[in-house]
Structure 1
């Protein structure tokens, strides 16, 4: 049995955005979907009001203010619920800085239309800092998909319990990917298109003649990534040990890059180990401290 898409709504989660850049990305997206839900996590009230005003006159645009940063998972769940009420059966999840090509949704929809009913999520490679990120060279079934540029079946997400709000931010997408797979759904990556996306503030560095890219995430992001990884590792090692071991390797590699040359190395290292501690002891939700 092949898939059928009736209505696609996009959700963009924002946090203190560059409003004009967000608007440019919105214009490209609006022509591709039945509606766009903007869920604003901004903790800057004047900026949130400016954002709301900028989109107030746009057709098929729905602005939801979270009155502060409630986390990406909570924002995505609000967007999913609103899209469902609008009659959507598929949701395109987006970050505020991601820029899609004009035919992006049409390509993903065409791939879905010839896929079997078990496919619940489809994404593409993306470019960040001049590099391409992709799980497979030729596409097909994959284990993980990031939030941005991901077209997901609303019923499938609801079946597995929606986006995980106790993670707050980071690994929310990987957690959903694995829970969908555990429930018998498939994730696929098509290489018929791609998009631009930003991971941190990437910088090109050289050490002992070896060139590498450093992401330069803030200490707070390092905390959330480390904490949520620990929980992700514990919950999924028996299900997919090779995936978990790869993620452990990535975590260690990022720590080495921080120690080799990122700014605020001491603070970021402390944030990582605080995250590991809280992950071990199950201290979840929004971090109340300051780094």
Structure 2
């Protein structure tokens, strides 16, 4: 599967962003970093053939920035996109587990993982509609 990660940044902590990028780099075909700000940050440490950087003129909002990243991912041949914030660090088997779920449950879905919030020390719920959130357990999809 050709999976690209889209990371939207806004005033990022570069050390934390590096951890995020490093956790995804061996797992995906491309990483597209969308800088959602007019501030020109030095992202020179993110020079890699698998990393594409897009600089926006100002903060257009997360959805706009994600859409620019998705457009680029599609142009680069992505079949799937993984949307991420700038400070999430992914487990080493994250994408391969995702691929297993697709093979079991199919392609016509949106997959939204739960995650453990280190600050709150709890699993965070997934919104399934405007009024309902759930915390799936085990292999529930």
TM class by shorter-chain length? 0.7 to 0.9
Q: CA deviation at 1:27?
A: 0.7
Aligned 1:7-18 pairs, distance under 5 A:
7-18=2-13
Counterpart in 2 of 1:127? 116
Is the Cα contact below 8 Å between 1:122 and 1:190 reproduced in 2?
Answer: no
Separation (CA, whole Å) in 2 of partners of 1:64 and 1:11: 10
In structure 2, stretches of 5+ residues that fail to align are: 131-135
User: What is the 5 A alignment of 1:1-291?
Assistant: 6-45=1-40, 48=41, 50-51=42-43, 53-55=44-46, 57-119=47-109, 121-128=110-117, 129=119, 130-135=121-126, 143-144=128-129, 191=138
* Change in 2 beyond 3 A, CA 1:107/1:42: same
Question: Which runs of at least 4 in structure 1 moved beyond 6 Å after TM superposition?
Answer: none
How many pairs does the alignment contain? Answer: 132
CA contact (8 A) 1:8 1:88 kept: yes
Higher helix share: 1
What's the CA shift for 1:191? 4.4
SS of residue matched to 2:78: coil
| SS of equivalent residue, structure 2 residue 70 | helix
Q: TM-score, normalised by structure 1?
A: 0.43
> Compared with structure 1, are the counterparts of its residues 77 and 190 closer, same or farther at alpha carbon in structure 2 (3 Å cutoff)?
farther
1:224 match: none
Structure number with greater Rg is: 1
Q: Please list every run of 5 or more consecutive structure 1 residues that lacks an aligned counterpart in the other structure.
A: 1-5, 136-141, 145-173, 175-188, 193-291
CA contact (8 A) 2:3 2:79 kept: yes
CA distance 1:191–1:93, change in 2 (3 Å): farther
Distance in 2 separating the partners of 1:133 and 1:77: 25
What is the CA RMSD across the aligned residues, in angstroms?
A: 1.9
Deviation at 1:117, TM superposition (A): 4.2
Q: Could you say which structure has the greater relative contact order, defined with CA pairs below 8 angstroms and 6 or more residues apart?
A: 2
Q: SS of the counterpart of 2:82?
A: strand
